[in-house]
Structure 1
Amino acid sequence: MLIPLNKTRNGESGIVKDVGGGDGLKRRLAALGLRVGLKVTKVSGMYFLGPITVRVGHTQIALGHSMAGKVMLEVEG
């Protein structure tokens, strides 16, 4: 089942299956290292608002809440 990154729980991991939004958003996320097929772990963030911090490999990045909502994960577990 696919769920948006901004709806995952802190500490939850998954594989990026799709990145929605326009080409600009897709390029920005790719430049940050967030691409389809990679495993990401949500480090911190609130369920309804505010920035979300994720770990991709050995790197942590922060995304806006709506931006994170465009990243669809297949959650492990």
Structure 2
Amino acid sequence: MMSLLELEKGKEGRVVLIQAGRGLINKLDGLGIRPGVSVKKKSVSLVESPILISVGRTQIAIGRGMASKIMVETGKK
């Protein structure tokens, strides 16, 4: 298990845990990001910039702090 921030660009992972308070969990849920959902890391640019992910056919930019709270599994051990 690793954070979405640690996931390599171009790789896909399944959300297993969101380590955040109710407010952020609800916000992410509204974006379609919840445990059991597959997400793909599309791009990473500068150190302080958001990362681009895809959830289904939707692309979403999220901040690095938010991405660090989303724990994913890739299927690789």
TM-score normalised by the chain length of structure 2:
0.91
Letter in 1 for 2:6: K
- Whether 1:34 aligns to 2:33 is yes
**Alpha-carbon distance between aligned partners in 2 of 1:25 and 1:15, rounded to the nearest angstrom:** 18
Question: Where in structure 2 are the equivalents of 1:1-77 lying within 5 Å?
Answer: 2-46=1-45, 48-77=47-76
**Alpha-carbon distance between aligned partners in 1 of 2:72 and 2:47, rounded to the nearest angstrom:** 17
1:26-57, Cα deviation, whole Å (9 max, x unpaired): 00000011010011100011485320111000
Stretches (4+) displaced over 6 A:
none
Q: What percent identity do the matched residue pairs reach?
A: 38
Per-residue deviation at 1:76? 3.4
Gaps of 5+ in 2: none
Letter in 1 for 2:34: R
> Conserved in 2, the CA contact under 8 Å of 1:40 and 1:54?
yes
CA RMSD for the aligned pairs? 1.4
> Conserved in 2, the CA contact under 8 Å of 1:13 and 1:76?
no
Letter in 1 for 2:12: S
